[in-house]
A and B are shown apart, each in its own frame.
Chain A
């Protein structure tokens, strides 16, 4: 509801997000490729007179080059700043006039746009025409570029005063070194300052290809209508001349690394972690299931129990995996009043160490399975949620039966598999740790 509980939920969702949900065992996903080679995933449902469309590309933050970090994000947001001769006001008005919602989608791997519109004729046609133009004919007007660059810089400068941002940036640096996942999505003041419109145009032409596009569609449409829409959204995109390069695998941490950063906040921000797992990781299920017990299962998790419920150290204490194209982070996060940061850090470390050494109990494992399998229907109870699963399946090349198979895959995981996977993959003695605003307040703090 509020920022904090959303943060907690977002963290859980981040872990869960790539967990497919049972598509009601019978969720019929149709799949094909457009003439230009884009992958399409479609679910037909006529319960509500609306449709959701997402078009994603491998053009997320990890595709930036380090000294132009921020170009990926700025390119995406500028695509709606003028396209096909339409000005940004016209684009916004055409969408608003039919009640359509256009939103950008951006993470380390992916960049794209989502559109929600009524399925009735006039509304649908107008909204999709705007989306098709934004995706395929962005103009990148110089004036809009200059303004958005300044707005981005303002928000980056503001962000640099925030303890959670300082913690996140340092954490990425410690965990990923020079790997592309070390970059922040919005970039850095130093890199965004130097960007020119040419960089944005070049980024677009170097990353938005029909061959890579994943078009996800759910809603009140026939298969033929969906096919026409997929063509409309991709037929004017350029084709690749060279294959898409994969990302390098992150290098595991060789030793423990600790950073402390001073800040006048009343709470310390503690992050502990390492490179975690990829979307197609063979240890995906045991690591995921184990994390539910450690810190992903909300109030039922060990971290929450030890840090919050037993000791009252924190409102927020959790862990998650961010499964990406290659290993995204495994992270434990705790916020606690600065005077007790060392105690809270110790409890978090001990909890992790004990969990990796001993694994979950049989009872904890069963409870985790009961929650994930028993609550599976909640993961696909809206068009919005299903759309995100379609996009994930399409982007990472998961099997179309992945959703249907998921509960069985969870059920099959044994206690031993969880223990072994955690011992093999998670190393409490080689964690990256960041503490911002820890210890007694600085004399000049509030």
Chain B
């Protein structure tokens, strides 16, 4: 049970564009149940396993002020029992069936999955259909689980200086759009959250007409459709709340923030507003931005590593990332950790110099070709994991893109020209849409090297 934020973002930037049409992959089978639930089936017969995922189109971007974190909190509560399946039993049933299971919440969606031997797929369907409609949401379980979620926030954010900076960055970049709030929620909102908030959320969004079932593995689509109809078909559809656009007004000038936290090394993030993919056939800018991010940071041969880390040595690490698959707006990120004796100002100047070179001189044919070869290969490699195939399908469907568009996306990416890369760099990597965040490292109390010895007086040799 986890929140999907920073880490997941960059992983999928690669994944989602790493789309290749190689040797006879089975087509994606699709069906809609009578209640509006979508069912997508990807056959992969390499191993007698199956992954089943239920995706709800409800993430932290659908939350309102004061109850941030409720999407993620509800995700946790989905394991806390129904009338038929008491709290904790869900996990035990899946475990006894030989399965693995978990769930994740992002800004855009909440998803639940089970990985099982193919013969156990109905176990997953029965449990998921049950908790889609019959969740108990008891006040007692809620108050215990809220503590767990606050521990999760402490672990992921409050004690992680880079996460703190990222959280503050998002709150600065967006003034209106709900991407400004953290998926896990603000601590104060968690402290004041009530079981009624979770009940309201569940009532609004957990309906079959807001859900997609994705099954990938050693299955026959017709059998999956029949089982889906049997278990999920009886769950009634409901009207969904209005979704308000909450469009972010145009940024008119650079924003800068600083976060202080215990650390040794400073850290710099630069974030530029950029468009997300909306029409897989007609759009070209997101594909060009994807290529651009890989020219800067697509492996060891890419520019930032070569120029900033290896050549000028201004940084010990330097990265670029861009995620084109989002319900909301996208960002183009650059980040760097300055080398010893260098400052964040040096690192910022070096990153800006790379942008200037891109805008003025463009990219070479070799670099472009390398990025495309890597994307083609990555698409083949992605097929080694049934889980990631299902993941990608569910994500595309849930953000509103065609779930079978991975091949189209790869083709469009292969069509990107050097001029287009230069053009998106010129258009989007500009100061008026830039937010700069700096981690200002603070020494640990009592010096950098905390040190105490064992308290016992044992006399063994250690």
Given A370-B97, A381-B49, A261–B115 Cβ distance below 8 Å? no
Chain A 80-119 against B: per-residue CB contact (8 Å), 1 yes, 0 no? 1000000011011101111111000000000000001110
B146 part of interface (Cβ distance < 8 Å): yes
Given A1-B8, A89-B306, A255-B460, A377–B145 Cβ distance below 8 Å? no
A423 part of interface (Cβ distance < 8 Å): no
A258 part of interface (Cβ distance < 8 Å): yes
A118-B377, A263-B450 given. 12 additional CB < 8 A pairs? A50-B380, A96-B302, A154-B316, A154-B339, A157-B264, A253-B460, A299-B79, A312-B151, A315-B155, A337-B151, A375-B100, A444-B446
Chain B 330-349 against A: per-residue CB contact (8 Å), 1 yes, 0 no? 00000001011000000000
Q: How far is the CB of B339 from chain A (nearest CB, A)?
A: 7
Given A256-B458, A266-B159, A300-B91, A97–B373 Cβ distance below 8 Å? yes
Q: How many residues of A contact B (CB 8 A)?
A: 97
A308 part of interface (Cβ distance < 8 Å): yes
Residues of A within 8 A of B154 (CB): 266-267, 335, 337
A161 near B262 (CB under 8 angstroms)? Answer: yes
Secondary structure call for the A interface: mixed
Residues of B within 8 A of A381 (CB): 46-47, 49, 386
Binds A, one of B202-210, B221-229, B293-301, B419-427: B293-301
B448 near A88 (CB under 8 angstroms)? Answer: no
Partner of B452, one of A89, A100, A160, A259: A259
Q: How far is the CB of A54 from chain B (nearest CB, A)?
A: 14
Partner of B95, one of A155, A251, A305, A367: A367
A1 to B149, CA, bound (A): 16
A186 to B257, CA, bound (A): 33
B133 part of interface (Cβ distance < 8 Å): no
Mark out the residues of chain B between 1 and 55 whose CB falls within 8 Å of any chain A CB in the assembled complex.
1-8, 22-23, 46-49
B385 near A48 (CB under 8 angstroms)? Answer: no
Residues of A within 8 A of B456 (CB): 255-258
B152 part of interface (Cβ distance < 8 Å): yes
A142 part of interface (Cβ distance < 8 Å): no
Mark out the residues of chain A between 30 and 59 whose CB falls within 8 Å of any chain B CB in the assembled complex.
45, 47-50
Looking across the interface, which residue of chain A has its beta carbon closest to that of B187? A266
Q: How far is the CB of B344 from chain A (nearest CB, A)?
A: 14
A1 near B4 (CB under 8 angstroms)? Answer: yes
Looking across the interface, which residue of chain B has its beta carbon closest to that of A153? B340
B151 near A297 (CB under 8 angstroms)? Answer: no
Supply 23 A–B pairs (Cβ within 8 Å), ascending by A.
A1-B8, A2-B3, A2-B7, A2-B104, A4-B155, A5-B104, A96-B298, A96-B301, A150-B339, A150-B340, A154-B339, A161-B448, A254-B460, A255-B456, A262-B445, A264-B445, A265-B262, A267-B151, A312-B151, A315-B151, A367-B96, A381-B47, A381-B386
B378 part of interface (Cβ distance < 8 Å): yes
Q: How far is the CB of A267 from chain B (nearest CB, A)?
A: 5
Chain A 1-29 against B: per-residue CB contact (8 Å), 1 yes, 0 no? 11111100000000000000000100000
A3 near B91 (CB under 8 angstroms)? Answer: no
Looking across the interface, which residue of chain A has its beta carbon closest to that of B338? A154
Q: How far is the CB of B83 from chain A (nearest CB, A)?
A: 19
A387 to B148, CA, bound (A): 36
B453 near A259 (CB under 8 angstroms)? Answer: yes
B310 near A88 (CB under 8 angstroms)? Answer: yes
A376 near B98 (CB under 8 angstroms)? Answer: yes
Looking across the interface, which residue of chain A has its beta carbon closest to that of B383? A48
B444 part of interface (Cβ distance < 8 Å): yes
A445 to B98, CA, bound (A): 45
Partner of B462, one of A98, A174, A260, A297: A174
A24 to B5, CA, bound (A): 36
A2 near B47 (CB under 8 angstroms)? Answer: no
Residues of B within 8 A of A178 (CB): 462
A2 near B4 (CB under 8 angstroms)? Answer: yes
A1 near B448 (CB under 8 angstroms)? Answer: no
Q: How far is the CB of A296 from chain B (nearest CB, A)?
A: 11
Q: How far is the CB of B102 from chain A (nearest CB, A)?
A: 7
A160 to B263, CA, bound (A): 9
Given A2-B8, A260-B452, A305–B88 Cβ distance below 8 Å? yes
Chain B 117-156 against A: per-residue CB contact (8 Å), 1 yes, 0 no? 1001000000000000000000000011111111110111
Residues of B within 8 A of A3 (CB): 7, 156, 160
Looking across the interface, which residue of chain B has its beta carbon closest to that of A444? B445
A228 part of interface (Cβ distance < 8 Å): no
Given A49-B22, A256-B456, A381-B49, A313–B265 Cβ distance below 8 Å? no
A214 to B98, CA, bound (A): 32
Q: How far is the CB of B113 from chain A (nearest CB, A)?
A: 10
